[in-house]
Structure 1
Amino acid sequence: MRISAIQMNPGADKAQNLAQARELIQGALADGRPRIVALPEMWTCLGGDRAKKFAAAETLPPEGSNAAGGEAYECLREVARANKIHVHGGSIAELAGDLLYNTTVVFDPNGVEIARYRKIHLFDIVTPDGMGYRESATFKGGDRVVTFKAHGTTCGLAICYDIRFPELFLKLRQAGAEIIFLPAAFTVPTGRDHWEVLLQARAIETQSWIVAPACWGRHLDGSGEPRMTFGRTLIADPWGLVTARVPDGTGWITSRADATVTERIRRDMPVLAHRKFV
């Protein structure tokens, strides 16, 4: 199955971000003919103050209703329906009372929402360069492990900081996932040292394809301070080998997630059957 992962440079202007996403998706569709397109984390609004984040957030329709949603939601639905592909919507901000959820939605080729995942692990840390991040000030965490089916293949969902918690990825593997999507907006210090090695580790441990669309470049936080995201969108195979990678800048990659590779690796090294403690 051919999958395209998009690398964006979003800021706090939702309209500009939507236009950028549409342009990059069309480029990926023309170039790679994918059956699934995946966007990065918080591509609709990265940075800005609390008011900006809430203004860009959307109220999602009830799950299973197939009702109309907000501008970004309908943009993703229309891309799926118009091109007869699955669309993994990276993550967008979902209104949830006084806080937001960092939420992935997935649409099938008919434009029907088939999965919704809310980021479980929130990024409350100080990076090596001294920058502080407190995602929990604006967002609350989800509590469900989520998979979906695309063309007969089970796919798992995670977001950014989730990558540091291998137990989530084990649960996705135990739920049958063969491909795991991880949209991200990694910081430069953590990305430089940990991004690729963590993605490869999760691929090796779960013997799954990892698709990691990322934000790249500069944006401004709520106080106007510049923040940098690392980028390096990549796809890794179940052996942990990187099959495609986006360099600095916006763009996309397309790679074939070959089910026969997954089957062979899992057959020859049946690590899930060998587990003793989980």
Structure 2
Amino acid sequence: MRVSVIQMNQGSDKEANLAQARRLIEAAVEADRPALVSLPETWTNLGGGRESRMAAAEVLPPEGSGETGGPAYELLRDLARTHGIHVHGGSLVEKGDEKLFNTTLVFGPEGREIARYRKIHLFDITGPDGTGYRESALYGAGDRLVTFTAGGITFGCTICYDMRFAEEYIALRRAGAEAILVPSNFTLQTGKDHWEVLLRARAIESQCWILAAASWGQYEERGAQRSVYGHSLVADPWGHVVAKVSDGIGWATARIDPTVTARVRRDMPVLAHRDARPLAL
């Protein structure tokens, strides 16, 4: 199964972000013919402050209803249906009753929504340069794991900061995941040291393919310039990076091979060993 991870340089102009996403997905489909494409985290909005995020937020139709959604929702649905592919919509800003949510949507080739995941681990940290990030000030946290099937492969959903919590990836493996998606806006400062290391570790531990579509470049946040790392990649279950985007916007395409997954899991049955040897104090 061929998959493409899309790398964007989005900002606070939602209409421009939607146009960029469409352009990159259509170019990837034309060039590489993937069966699944994945966008970065909050590809509809990055920066601009609270007002910008609120303006970009969409009220999502009830799951499984088939009802019409907002502009981003309908763009994802249209791209999936038009090209006959699975579209993993990275994440977008969902408008909830009391808070926003950082939410993944996945559409099948018929344009039907097949998965919805709300980010579980919220990014409340102080960066190495002293910059504070408080995702929980605006966003609520998700409370359930989500998987979906495409091309006979079971995919697990995570978002960015989730990657620092190995237990979520092991839980997805237990739930049947063979590949795990990690759409991200990883800061430049942490990305240069942690991005690839963490993604390869999650691949090795879970023995899953890792598909990480990321945002790249600079954006404005309340008058200050911030930078995100990019370097979108695909890693195999042995931890090898098999496709990667350099600096700039673009995409990378790789083939998920189930025989590789089966061989890695057969030769190093770590999940069975973990089940057999529970640890206690």
TM-score of the superposition, structure 1-length normalised?
A: 0.99
| Deviations 1:189-215 (CA, angstroms, capped at 9, x unpaired) | 110110000000000000000000000
How far the C-alpha of 1:67 sits from its partner, in A, is: 1.0
Instruction: Please report how far the alpha carbon of residue 97 of structure 1 lies from its aligned counterpart in structure 2 after TM superposition.
Output: 2.4
* Off by >2 Å, runs of 4+ in structure 1: none
- Structure 2 counterpart SS, 1:176: coil
Percent same amino acid among aligned pairs?
A: 61
Q: Aligned residue for 1:62?
A: 62
Q: Residues of 1 paired with 2:31 and 2:262: CA distance?
A: 28
Where 1:252 maps in the other structure, the secondary structure is: strand
Question: C-alpha separation between the residues in 1 aligned to 2:132 and 2:5?
Answer: 28
Unaligned runs of 5+ residues in structure 2 are: none
* 1:45-56 correspondence runs (5 A): 45-56=45-56
* Equivalent position SS for 1:4: strand
Q: Does the alignment pair 1:193 with 2:193?
A: yes
Partner of 1:23: helix, strand, or coil? helix
Give the SS at the match of 2:69.
coil
- 1:11 correspondence with 2:11: yes
1:241 corresponds to which residue? 240
Residue 274 of structure 1 corresponds to 273
Give the aligned partner of residue 254 of structure 2. 255
Q: What amino acid is aligned across from residue 278 of structure 2 in structure 1? A: F
Partner of 1:35: 35
Partner of 2:128: 128
What letter is aligned with 1:241?
Answer: H
* 1:205 aligned residue: 205
Aligned-pair CA distance for 1:32: 0.9
Residues 48-79 of structure 1, C-alpha deviations (whole Å, 9 max, x = no match): 12111011000000011111110000000000
Counterpart Cα distance in 2 of 1:177 and 1:140:
25
* C-alpha separation in 1, matches of 2:88 and 2:78: 12
Change (3 A) 1:98 1:224: farther
Structure 1 letter corresponding to 2:192: R
| Structure 1 position 114, deviation (Å) | 0.4
SS in structure 2 at match of 1:128: coil
* Separation in 2, partners of 1:239, 1:129: 34
Report the CA distance between 1:159 and its aligned residue.
0.1
SS of the equivalent of 2:226 reads: strand
* 2:32 alignment partner AA: G
Distance 1:22 1:87 in 2: 11
Q: Cα offset for 1:98?
A: 3.2
What whole-Å deviation, never above 9, does each CA across 1:64-118 have from its counterpart, x for those lacking one? 1111110000000000000000000000000012310000000000000000000
Superposed, 1:61-140 pairs within 5 Å as 61-140=61-140
Cα distance in 1 between the residues matched to 2:223 and 2:45:
14
d(CA) in 2 for partners of 1:143, 1:256: 31
CA distance in 1, matches of 2:233, 2:127: 22
Separation in 1 of the partners of 2:77 and 2:223? Answer: 33
**Cα RMSD (Å) of the superposition?**
0.8
Letter in 2 for 1:220: E
Distance 2:65 2:273 in 1: 41
C-alpha distance in 2 between matches for 1:36 and 1:54: 29
Residues 144-159 of structure 1: matches in 2 within 5 Å? Answer: 144-159=144-159
